[in-house]
Amino acid sequence: MSGGTRLENANPVIFQRSGERLLTAADEDEDVQDPIDDREIFDILSINDPEHPLSLEELNVVEQIRVKVNDAESSVGIEFTPTIPHCSMATLIGLSIKVKLLRSLPDRFKIDVHITPGTHASEEAVNKQLADKERVAAALENSSLLEVVNQCLTSRSI
Amino acid sequence: MMADESALLLSLVEEFVSGLQDSKAKDTATAVKDGQFTVLQLVEALGLSLTSSQPHTRARGVQLLSEVLHECYGDLTEREVEVLISFYENRLKDHYVITPPVLQGLRALTKCNALPPGSAVSMLRSLFQDVHVQSLMLTERGCVYNMLINLMDTREAELKGLGADFVFGFVQSMDGERDPRNLLLAFQIAKNIIHRGYDLGKFTEELFEVTSCYFPIDFTPPPNDPHGITRDQLILMLRAVLTGTPKFAEFLLPLIIEKLDSDVQSAKQDSLQTLAACVSQYEHKDLAEFLEGLWTSLRREVFQTSSEKIESAGLAALTALTSCLSRSVLNSDSDDSLNTFLDLVLKDCKHHLCEPDLKLVWPSAKLLQAACSASNRASHIITAAVMPTLIEQYNNRAECSHRRTLLEVVQRFILSVKSSQSSESEESVLSAFRPSLCSMVFSALSESNANLQITATSALTSLSQQTGLLLDSDIELAVDHLTGLLLKEDDNSVSAAVVECAGALAQLHPTAFITKLIPELKKQMFSEPMEQDREASEQQSHHAMRQRCLSALAAVSTQPSVVQESTPVLLEVLSSAHTGSVSFSVEEVVLACCSLQRIAEQVKDTEETGRCFHDVIIPRLLSLALQAALQGDGSPGRRSPLVEEAVLSAMVRVISTSCSRLQPTMAGQTTSKAVSLFLDGDVSFLPDNSFPSNIQLLKKQQGDSWSQSQMVCLLMGCVCSLPRSVEVPQIDRLLSELEEMSYTCSHPLSYTSAAKCFAGLVNKRPQGDSLDSLIQRTMKRICSELDSTSSSVRYQAFTLMIWVAKALLLRYHPLFTALTDKLFSLLDDADLGPMAADSFSLLMSDSADILNRGCHADTRIMYRQRFFSENSAKLVQGFNAAPQEKKPNYLKALSNIVNKLPKQVQVTELPALLSLLLEALSCPDQGVQLSTLSCLEPVLIDPPPALIQQLEALVSRLLALTSSPAMDVRIVSLRCIHALSRFPVHEILPFRARVLRALARPLDDKKRMVRSEAVQARGEWFLIGSPGGR
Amino acid sequence: MKEALTLLHRLNGHPDSRCWFVSWSPTGTLLASCGGDKAVRIWGQEGDSWVCKSVLEDGHQRTVRKVAWSPCGNYLASASFDATTCIWKKKNDGFESLTVLEGHENEVKCVAWAPSGNLLATCSRDKSVWVWEVDEEDDYECVTVVNSHTQDVKHVVWHPTQELLASASYDNNICIYKEDDDDWECRATLQGHTSTVWSLAFDATGQRLASCSDDRTVKIWKEYPSESGNDLSWKCVCTLSGYHGRTVYDIVWCRLTGALATACGDDAVRVFKEDETADPDQPVFSLAAQATKAHNQDVNCVAWNPKEAGLLASCSDDGDIAIWRFEEED
């Protein structure tokens, strides 16, 4: 991942960012309860791709339609789509998404992160790893892995 | 020399050399300057020490001489200098301990005006021959460099006579230098050698080697470096050396290519900037053999960049490179290196333009645009190659996002095209593509995709700014498109872009706007919403259409010819609204006024526009407002929208902008008319004059009716915005009637406007007794009303006081302090206390309509700081002395003041006030909390040490505020906590667990805006002390 | 018959961290807990409340995943993500680190003491199960490394009376091991779960084994006399599905009452009772009680008190430990 190594996908397809969420009158009204919705979760996921100086949104790795949240039942499901079917970064991207949500959502939420069905060669294996909280916990105690995840989660500095 | 002087000299020498009394050097120098003995006598007196068998004694002797020379080199004769030089040259061959003082002496001599011809050369020959510079200590090496610099400044011709030997000597001297201070001197010499045309002879490569080995500069000054040498100084100085001559090209360019491969970002950036700098000195032949290598590196840096800095440095270098190649003179028989190079660029980049969905389309476009912007010739070559492709791609793509990308790329090409400066008449580079570009832009404007339409408006703007490119028929078609969009397009972002585009086009092509756009907009705006029972959504869209038209009318009105056509339409909106002939809402009327004001603000100040505003618009506004006022507030039936406060305030801004910036003489006439209208009821200058003769606008109205009294704000708009050179007639009478009015009215807009108008005039009155007595009279009355708790006009008196206080504060009037003291005392007032606390905000902030620089108010710089420094102590004392229930007033006052101070002042004042501000954070008043938080927030970005010491208290209070009942408080406190995450890691790490735990709760706040702040803050705090974080 | 699960105590056991596991001392008077804060804590009752008696810190560099009491109650073993297992010995009022067992390549997921107290089993993400022998001098020696799983091994548990060991894995299987000629061999592989098997528990007799899994089911396995050769024969006789909303992280069988308790990722603690009238080859378990919001987050572990019937401890990702009473009323 350092500057010298070759990128797996040097010229990926890029997508338009969806732009800032527009504020509504209800958003500014003290008395209105704003439910946590799909767009809000999607906005939280403005994560950088470990390989590119682009966000996961620009690479279409995460899309708002693949974000499902149920505030009342405290559940969030995300499907993400690796840029290429053999992307070796899939687990890392999934882990970054999961960590970002763990840090950003109230702890009442159950968070499920999966690969969009049919978009990756090792879909099941990656899904199983991401669902195993013991492995996730152990991974986050691995400082080199945590370093990469944190870099993905660092707001882009220009 | 007298005997006693001779004895003195010997004793001085003795005491310095053997007695090691350093101060004797100074005494000796003074004696020489006083003429007690000469330098040569000193040399003689030194005789014994100089022939001593002890090298240290000899060194001490030379040192005395050198130190004396440092003091009096200016008085030496040529003969003396000659002797001294030969003395020193001999000493250079002596023991090494003697070298340092010898060099000091020689350095002093290089500063002599009386340096005999040939001596510079002789000195340098000895120096280069007998001294190995890099074996010397740091100071001595510096001494050598300074000698060279001094001689280069005064004896250039002589040194050049040394030929390449001089360069060789210098190269040997600096070879291996490591100290940054000395490097700066050595680079200075190298720069002089190159820029002043010294002969490099066969030592070009040596000179390059000995300097370029430091490239790129890798130096971080030690903390608290007393020498203050910065990395940037070294970089710039070395760059000046390396890029100074094309002779270095063959060495420098491969070096740059090599260094660009580095992983160090700063090295890349330095290399790119050096490349851009050097090619501006080169000719195409210097570059020829490196073009491919340079291009490969530049392409890689832009294609794979992770930093915008590197990218823009890369693009700038490409532009510089292309522009160097463009300077080559074409020979029919030689290769055109520009063509060859651009072929390379096109080969690697052009095909990416056909992949608008892939990442490399942007870097490719940026590279091509950077090359394109280098010269007219490059623009021709690049556009000829890419435009047909882009246009074809655009026409073949169906997906909006692809088309938008292509259109944006095209737009940036249009911007980057360099029009030939030599001849205005020459055809635009883009002429060949005009029809296709126009149809591309027009088709995009008709799409339903907002982003595409917005991009199209920028492209249209860029096209219209290409001199001589668009035909009149193109402009007319464009205006038709824009008009259609203004009338129909509901998307706010699109219509904002359309308005902006219309403004840009109207600036260059006013005719089409006068003949087509304005009449059409007028027609549509004055159409009534059809039936009364129409759906609300259609009402809404009719209103939105009018809004767009009104702001478009303002945007297009920059040329006087357009203003002549657009302002009557806007005035007609007001008059129709007043009569009710066409129904316009209050909001629409306000917008019409805003458009008038914007025009007054942006139009060129000519006599024509001055007449338009002073002779037509202002009288018309006053007339309409007066008609509406005379209809009254109590009259049955329909009330004119022109008596609404929002409309009047908008009119004030039109009048005040016109009076402040258009034609002072005419503004003076407008003022005279307005004053006589308000004082004497003179309505003769008003159009549609059917007014009664007994109008008394500044007098208390019957039954306390306010529709006429509130008109005083229009007077304020006029008299308070004049340049100070313009006289206000009947000023004393005016002031006294305004003061009276500010007490007698009970209608807040009326008495506040009267007070503001009074204050605005006071601010501009010349200094002197008459002003002082006016202020004293006014204050006396204010205080007597305020002191009487039973007075019915305490609010009025307070309002007048605060505005007069502001007027005086701005100009530092000495009587201001009396008012401040009164204001402070009111903080304890049961009734007015909270108002007094709030009023500090008014005192410290810029007022929108009067007493600002736009209105030519008498404003001293830094009046806020001055107010703060004179009063903060009083405030702190007052706080400490105040009873518990009054303390919030003091905290609020304090936070209102601190909030408005410039950040540097906040930072310096903060230590003293910190405990009070922290107290304010715990104050239950949400207003105080909010205002304190917003003054803390910017300070937290670069926290002063005092703040870091109070971290515990700060963190506790901020965390407590994240559960405030007020959403704004929660949001700003979270932002502050976010800002804390950028404090030095070791300071905040102990708080990490606590902050993370506390921030878990706002993640589940009921308001989304709060959650979003919490998410950001918590995300950053997680990164603290974590690998890959900070 | 009415059953209820009543909360007796809630302790913030591992603040700002998660609590992975709790374990009762053999006498049932002390409770050991461990978690993401790298520490083991010992809890005891003082009057009406539970207090932390000691904190065992500095033994591990990373999360402590499981903790186990020796049958004599004088030793504690802790398994950690730092690839080591720590043995702690009781001394005065506290514990001191006795020795550190190294050898696994990466995270140790579980440690368990054999009923005799002479053997210790550990398992790890390195896919292996290790058996250690303890001598009188408190020396530990690895006697066997078994690699029967294809993925990380999540849990090991000893038979209550025999020297028989069972392990559960990410490869969805359960393995049963027996010593043969100084060597431990996998003698049976129990297949049936469709995802990671998180935990195992023998009943009081050791004839049956309960397992719980990421597939949100609980399975009961029973040993049958072997039909041929010396392979053991275990069959699934019952599957509890539909009760658990997410991964079941732990299961425990009360040696006193036969009640089965589960810890689940849906924040609930559940207790199942067996219908004693049913055919032993087709046992029937029914949900006897549940605390649906037992914790604010995933429940990681449940543990029945070995001496006091119906006393149940649980712990969660929220760092809390809860102590419950399960009561059957007639």
Task: Calculate ∠ Cα B970-B974-B980, nearest 5°.
Answer: 150
The pLDDT value given to residue B534: 63
Phi, psi of B758, rounded to the nearest 5 degrees: -55, -50
- How far off is chain C from B919, nearest CA to CA, in Å? 30
The pLDDT value given to residue C134: 93
> Given CB atoms, is A44 within the 8 Å cutoff of chain B?
yes
* CB within 8 Å: B1019 and A100: yes
> Given CB atoms, is A134 within the 8 Å cutoff of chain C?
yes
Q: In B6-126, which ranges are E strands?
A: none
Tokens of B564: 């002549």
- How far off is chain A from C234, nearest CA to CA, in Å? 27
> Given CB atoms, is C136 within the 8 Å cutoff of chain B?
no
Tell me the three state secondary structure of residue B205.
helix
Measured between alpha carbons, how far is C269 from B157 in angstroms, rounded to an integer? 97
The pLDDT value given to residue A158: 30
* CB within 8 Å: A128 and C296: no
In chain C, positions 244-283, which contact chain A (CB-CB < 8 Å)?
A: 246-247, 265-266
User: Which candidate from B307, B1003, B1023 shows the least CB-CB separation from A104?
Assistant: B1003
Low-confidence ranges of chain B (pLDDT < 70): 1-2, 306, 329-335, 419-426, 529-534, 633-637, 701-704
In chain C, positions 108-147, which contact chain A (CB-CB < 8 Å)?
A: 109, 125
The pLDDT value given to residue B948: 84
| Among chain B residues, CA nearest to A104 | B1015
ipTM of the complex: 0.92
| Among chain C residues, CA nearest to B997 | C16
- How far off is chain A from C305, nearest CA to CA, in Å? 26
Name the one residue in this structure whose structure tokens are 């699934």.
Answer: C236
The pLDDT value given to residue C30: 96
Among C167, C225, C217, which Cα is nearest to C192's?
Answer: C217
- DSSP β-ladder status, C311-316 and C30-35: unpaired
* CB within 8 Å: A137 and C170: no
Task: Please provide the size of chain B in residues.
Answer: 1030
> Given CB atoms, is A143 within the 8 Å cutoff of chain B?
yes
Measured between alpha carbons, how far is B712 from B802 in angstroms, rounded to an integer? 18
Q: Which residues of C touch B1025 (CB under 8 A)?
A: none
Measured between alpha carbons, how far is A83 from A119 in angstroms, rounded to an integer? 9
Among B684, B740, B691, which Cα is nearest to B712's?
Answer: B740
Residue type for position B859: T
The pLDDT value given to residue B316: 95
The pLDDT value given to residue B331: 59
Measured between alpha carbons, how far is B642 from B647 in angstroms, rounded to an integer? 6
Domain A34-153 has CATH 3.30.300.130: yes
Measured between alpha carbons, how far is C290 from C269 in angstroms, rounded to an integer? 6
> Given CB atoms, is C292 within the 8 Å cutoff of chain A?
no
pLDDT digits (tens, 9 = 90+) for C162-198: 999 999 999 999 999 998 877 899 999 999 999 999 9
The pLDDT value given to residue A4: 38
DSSP labels for B855-886?
GT----TTHHHHHHHHHHHHHHHHHHHS-GGG
* CB within 8 Å: B1011 and A36: yes
The span from the first CA to the last CA of chain C, in angstroms, equals 5
- How far off is chain A from B1028, nearest CA to CA, in Å? 4
Work out whether the CA dihedral B906, B907, B909, B911 comes out positive or negative: positive
Task: Calculate ∠ Cα C169-C175-C176, nearest 5°.
Answer: 145
Residues 6+ apart with CB under 8 A from B123: B85, B88, B89, B106, B109, B110, B147, B151
- DSSP β-ladder status, C19-24 and C75-80: unpaired
Chains that touch B (3 or more CB pairs under 8 A): A, C
Q: CATH assignment of B921-1030, given 3.50.50.60, 3.40.30.10, 1.10.10.10, 1.25.10.10?
A: 1.25.10.10
Tokens of B278: 């050097």
Let me know if A75 is exposed, middle or buried by CB neighbors in 10 A (0-12, 13-18, 19+).
middle
The pLDDT value given to residue B530: 62
- How far off is chain A from C82, nearest CA to CA, in Å? 9
| Mean pLDDT on C296-312 | 96
pLDDT digits (tens, 9 = 90+) for B884-916: 888 888 888 888 888 888 877 777 777 778 888
* CB within 8 Å: C214 and A132: yes
Chain pair B-C, CB pairs under 8 angstroms: 4
Residue type for position B198: Y
Chains that touch C (3 or more CB pairs under 8 A): A, B
Beta-carbon-side half-sphere exposure of residue B63 (alpha carbons within 13 Å): 19
Task: Calculate ∠ Cα C212-C36-A109, nearest 5°.
Answer: 65
Work out whether the CA dihedral B164, B170, B172, B176 comes out positive or negative: negative
> Given CB atoms, is C16 within the 8 Å cutoff of chain B?
yes
In chain A, positions 69-98, which contact chain B (CB-CB < 8 Å)?
A: none
Among A103, A109, A152, A158, the residue to mutate for chain B (most B Cβ within 10 A): A103
User: Which candidate from A27, A33, A44 shows the least CB-CB separation from B1015?
Assistant: A44
Q: Which residues of B touch C16 (CB under 8 A)?
A: 993, 996-997
Per the CB < 8 A criterion, the answer to whether C206 and C200 are in contact is no
* CB within 8 Å: A146 and B1028: yes
Phi, psi of C38, rounded to the nearest 5 degrees: 70, 10
Low-confidence ranges of chain A (pLDDT < 50): 1-5, 157-158
- DSSP β-ladder status, C233-240 and C129-134: unpaired
Tokens of C300: 């990681």
Name the one residue in this structure whose structure tokens are 């370093």.
Answer: A147
* CB within 8 Å: B1008 and A12: no
* CB within 8 Å: A141 and C62: yes
Chain pair A-C, CB pairs under 8 angstroms: 37
Strand-pair partners of C186? C177
| Among chain B residues, CA nearest to A7 | B304
Domain borders along chain B are 602-628+640-729, 921-1030
> Given CB atoms, is A100 within the 8 Å cutoff of chain B?
yes
* CB within 8 Å: A14 and B1009: no
Let me know if A74 is exposed, middle or buried by CB neighbors in 10 A (0-12, 13-18, 19+).
middle
Tell me the three state secondary structure of residue B848.
coil
Tokens of B490: 């509901």
Measured between alpha carbons, how far is C171 from C191 in angstroms, rounded to an integer? 10
Among A6, A30, A46, A71, the residue to mutate for chain B (most B Cβ within 10 A): A30
Residues 6+ apart with CB under 8 A from B164: B199, B200, B201, B202, B203
Q: Which residues of A touch C109 (CB under 8 A)?
A: 134
- DSSP β-ladder status, C183-190 and C197-202: unpaired
Tokens of B893: 């006052």
Name the one residue in this structure whose structure tokens are 């700003």.
Answer: B972
Measured between alpha carbons, how far is C19 from C323 in angstroms, rounded to an integer? 14
Chains that touch A (3 or more CB pairs under 8 A): B, C
Per the CB < 8 A criterion, the answer to whether C108 and C81 are in contact is yes
Domain borders along chain A are 34-153
Confidence of residue C157 (pLDDT cuts 50, 70, 90): very high
Residue B923, Cβ neighbours under 10 Å: how many? 17
Residue C97, Cβ neighbours under 10 Å: how many? 16
| Among chain B residues, CA nearest to A58 | B359
- How far off is chain B from C284, nearest CA to CA, in Å? 42
Angle of helix B586-602 relative to helix B536-556, nearest 10 degrees, comes to 10
- How far off is chain B from C14, nearest CA to CA, in Å? 13
Among A97, A119, A109, A4, which Cα is nearest to A45's?
Answer: A97
Among C96, C27, C7, which Cα is nearest to C316's?
Answer: C7
Measured between alpha carbons, how far is C174 from C156 in angstroms, rounded to an integer? 10
Per the CB < 8 A criterion, the answer to whether B502 and B556 are in contact is yes
> Given CB atoms, is A103 within the 8 Å cutoff of chain C?
no
* CB within 8 Å: A11 and B1007: no
Q: Output b/e per residue, C179-199; b: 16+ Cβ within 10 A.
A: beeeebbbbbebebbebbbbb
Per the CB < 8 A criterion, the answer to whether C123 and C155 are in contact is yes
The pLDDT value given to residue B467: 81
Per the CB < 8 A criterion, the answer to whether B737 and B743 are in contact is no
pLDDT digits (tens, 9 = 90+) for A14-59: 666 667 777 888 888 889 999 999 999 988 887 776 666 667 777 7
